[in-house]
């Protein structure tokens, strides 16, 4: 609770008070001063200590609940969940991004099979319907915490790797070992409620919000080399992008 005791307000600032508090608590969670499992005082006590109204304090905490950094449990109160993962929207793999951010990614291989391309996969990869493609399904964890379910389809001739390699290295890193670099991709984001099976794998409740991302990636020659359909825990994961007014 030391980090919460250090909270301060600049009442002359144009930045709303709830936003100032939310950002300071978020920083304390991200740098470890408020570790996972830490329980916060009630919003009534926090509001009193900081000289805030209860609605202002509630809004600050709700910001962090919505971002998956805090959770409210009946009979327990408000607790720190864990650090969320924020990923910039750029042409990279989740494995590479987690490694670059200092987190430890691990992969559980759920499927590694040659299947006939259905109409959607065939059209995406520009192969005949029924042609052999490799289907991969993997559960990606970050520091031991389930984070994402990754489904991928690739032309069969592009996947010479063993199950061990697929569980220890990222897909794009493996593609680079055979001379293939992803140069451009189209991507689409959405959301869905977790099915019972996906919820079990991801440690979520059935119906919990999951982010979806579909990606079709091409190499330097313009050949489609990977179709991905991924699910991410919305409670732990977000995408970040910079927008420029042209």
Q: Parallel, antiparallel, or unpaired: how do β-strands 209-219 and 224-233 relate? A: antiparallel
The answer to whether residues 91 and 176 belong to one domain is: yes
**168 lies in a domain?**
yes
The Cα 163–Cα 34 span in angstroms is: 38
Secondary structure string (H, E, C) spanning 48-59: HHHCCCHHHHHH
Q: Is 171 exposed, middle or buried (0-12, 13-18, 19+ CB in 10 A)?
A: buried
Structure tokens at 70: 């805090």
**Residue closest to 37 by CA, chosen among 2, 74, 85, 81:** 81
pLDDT value for 87 = 53
Q: Is residue 44 part of a domain?
A: yes
**Is 162 in a helix, a strand, or coil?**
coil
Domain end (from 25, 55, 80): 80
Residue 245 lies in a domain: no
- Give, as one character, the DSSP assignment of residue 129: T
Q: What is the CATH number of the domain that holds 20?
A: 1.10.10.10
Residue where one domain finishes, among candidates 61, 80, 99: 80
Does 246 reside within a domain? no
In whole angstroms, give the CA distance from residue 142 to residue 140: 7
Q: How does DSSP classify residue 91?
A: S
Q: Are residues 56 and 123 in the same domain?
A: no
138 and 47 housed in the same domain = no
Q: Distance (Å, rounded) from C-alpha 193 to C-alpha 19?
A: 29
- Would 123 be classed as within a structural domain? yes
The residue written with tokens 């996972």 in the block is: 36
Q: Quick one: DSSP state of residue 182?
A: E
Q: How far apart are CA 135 and CA 114, in angstroms?
A: 6
Report the pLDDT value the prediction gives residue 95, as an integer from 0 to 100. 73
Tokens representing 145 are: 């915490």
Mark whether 112 and 75 lie in a shared domain. Answer: no
Residue ranges making up the domain that contains 177:
85-240
pLDDT in tens, the chain (246 residues): 555 667 888 888 888 888 888 889 888 887 888 887 788 888 889 889 889 999 999 988 888 877 777 877 666 678 887 555 555 455 566 776 666 667 688 999 999 999 999 999 999 999 999 999 999 999 999 888 898 999 999 999 888 899 999 999 889 889 999 999 888 888 888 999 999 999 999 989 999 999 999 999 988 888 899 999 999 988 777 666 555 554
**Radius of gyration (C-alpha) of the chain in whole angstroms:** 21
pTM above 0.85, yes or no: no
Statement to judge: residues 53 and 97 lie in one domain: no
* Same-domain status, 34 and 93: no
Number of domains observed in the structure of the chain: 2
Strand locations in 35-181 (E) = 39-40, 70-73, 77-80, 85-88, 105-116, 132-142, 145-155
């Amino acid at each position: 609770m030391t980090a919460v005791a250090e909270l301060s307000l600049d009442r002359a600032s144009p930045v709303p008070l709830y936003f100032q508090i939310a950002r300071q608590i978020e920083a304390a969670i991200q740098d470890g001063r408020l570790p996972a499992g830490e329980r916060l005082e009630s919003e009534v006590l926090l509001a009193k200590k900081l000289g805030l109204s209860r609605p202002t304090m509630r809004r600050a905490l709700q910001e962090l609940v919505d971002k998956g950094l805090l959770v409210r449990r009946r009979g327990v109160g408000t607790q720190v969940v864990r650090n969320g993962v924020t990923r910039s929207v750029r042409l990279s793999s989740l494995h590479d991004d987690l490694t670059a951010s200092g987190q430890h990614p691990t992969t559980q291989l759920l499927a590694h099979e040659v299947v006939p391309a259905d109409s959607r996969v065939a059209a995406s990869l520009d192969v005949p319907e029924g042609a052999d493609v490799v289907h991969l399904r993997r559960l990606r964890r970050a520091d031991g915490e389930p984070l994402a379910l990754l489904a991928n389809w690739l032309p069969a001739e592009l996947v010479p790797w063993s199950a061990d390699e697929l569980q220890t290295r990222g897909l794009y890193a493996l593609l680079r070992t055979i001379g293939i670099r992803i140069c451009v991709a189209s991507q689409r984001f959405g959301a869905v409620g977790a099915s019972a099976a996906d919820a079990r794998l991801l440690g979520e409740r059935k119906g919990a919000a999951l982010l979806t991302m579909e990606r079709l990636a091409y190499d330097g020659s313009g050949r489609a080399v990977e179709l991905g359909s991924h699910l991410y825990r919305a409670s732990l994961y977000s995408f970040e992008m910079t927008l420029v007014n042209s």
